[in-house]
Amino acid sequence: MAKPQIVCVVGTRPDAIKSAPVILELQRFADRCDTVVVATGQHREMLQQVLDSFSIECNTNLDVMTQGQSLAQITTRTLEGLDKILSETTANMVVAQGDTTTTFTAGLASFYRHVPFAHVEAGLRTDTIWNPFPEEFNRRAVGLFAALHFAPTLLSAQNLILSGVPDDTIFVTGNTAIDAVVDMAERSDHEWYPKDPLRIVVLTTHRRENWGHPQQEIARACRRLVEAVPNIRLVCPMHRNPAVRETLSSELSHHDRIDLIEPPEYESFIKLIQRADLILTDSGGVQEEAPSFGKPILVLRETTERPEGVHSGVAKLVGHNADLIFEEAHGLLTDPIRYQAMARSHSPYGDGRAAQRIRYLILRHLGVESPAEAMWEH
């Protein structure tokens, strides 16, 4: 009997980070399945950077990104490219994670070709399809046709059940982001900003709904924070999108305790989070990563599809109002009791064994036996 072929699709930096543990786990069982890695190139340099960090090679790169293209153009080019690949392969399953345009089009291409689709990080939801945009639509749409839904938490599984997804297709696995964090933290003992005696505040902001005025408010709050607290340094890895860079550069340049840096390699970014005292972010991935190291998180969004961190007290929603961001961050940096209440080294998102569970379930679905090395819930 021929080995089943599993096509793993990645397109953005978060895709690669969270898919890497699954890809590596499937490749560990190369005697039982063939794993094909397809990159869409939705993020170009940042995607390759992560793949290099995990020593993952792509079989195909669609390289869809062009300057200034619209969501419709990204979707069209990605869908056409993935459809061509599926027409030329004997894929038995397609796997993608999260809520990016790459994930949506990978699922849609699979649906059109009648190839089972496995959705990693399924079931995240907010209360409006417009926030985050277009990610909330992407993940809801994928939920309609995925054959396997790998929910990171019980809450995510409940969201899927409430939306009508069959119970026997939903599996609670934990989040592969924690697998990636644990792996990368163990790979190296080097530090980031090791000689700086100042406390480090990390800012990451790139969400489409924060472009323009909201991002100006965020940046102004951060500059005010640096000016008000003399023993901190703000480190801001800037997303490569020109709209993001223009705003951050205009508001945060020319201050000796503000560092606007290129997106570091994933290994260095994890070390930066470990080194940081406070995280300000609108990134879903960072909301998952920081609690593993006991770092308080202020979430620069009005809502989050990862409420587990808020419920457990390690994260707080602050939106993009400059005064509120400043007040919350200033309070944490100047009140030790308030800081310690949030600084807990506990992740509500998983135990670092999600990829093992996912590999087992994918191969089982394809009729292939493999070790059930980690306990898993259904």
Residue 333's pLDDT is what? 97
136 as an active site residue: the answer is no
pLDDT in tens, 19-46: 999 999 999 999 999 999 999 988 777 7
Does the annotation mark 99 as catalytic? yes
d(CA 176, CA 288): 10
pLDDT reading at 311 higher than 90:
no
Band the pLDDT of 259: cuts 50, 70, 90: very high
Any idea which residue has 């996912």 for tokens? Answer: 358
Residue 308 has pLDDT above 50, yes or no: yes
Whether 208 is a known active-site residue: answer yes
Topology at the third CATH level for domain 5-174+353-365: Rossmann fold (3.40.50)
Give the active site residue among 28, 44, 113, 208. 208
Active site (annotated) includes residue 43: no
Q: Which CATH architecture has domain 193-342?
A: 3-Layer(aba) Sandwich (3.40)
**What are the tokens at 278?**
């406070």
Among residues 25, 99, 183, 209, the one annotated as catalytic is: 99
The Cβ-side half-sphere exposure at 249, using a 13 Å CA radius, reads: 11
Q: Which of 339, 328, 365, 372 shows the shortest CA–CA distance to 168?
A: 365
Location of each CATH 3.40.50.2000 domain in the chain:
5-174+353-365, 193-342
pLDDT digits (tens, 9 = 90+) for 104-142: 999 999 999 999 999 999 999 998 999 889 999 999 999
**Pick the catalytic residue: 15, 25, 119, 121?**
121
Q: Binning pLDDT at 50, 70 and 90, where does residue 268 land?
A: confident
Among 13, 239, 306, 357, the active-site one is 239
Catalytic residue selected from 13, 43, 77, 135: 135
Q: In terms of pLDDT, which residue wins out, 313 or 35?
A: 35
Distances (CA, A) of 111 to 79, 83, 94, 147, 159: 11, 10, 10, 10, 22
Is 206 annotated as catalytic? yes
Catalytic residue among 206, 233, 306, 320: 206
Dist. CA 47–CA 269, nearest whole Å: 14
Q: How far apart are CA 193 and CA 235, in angstroms?
A: 10
Tell me which DSSP letter residue 301 carries: S
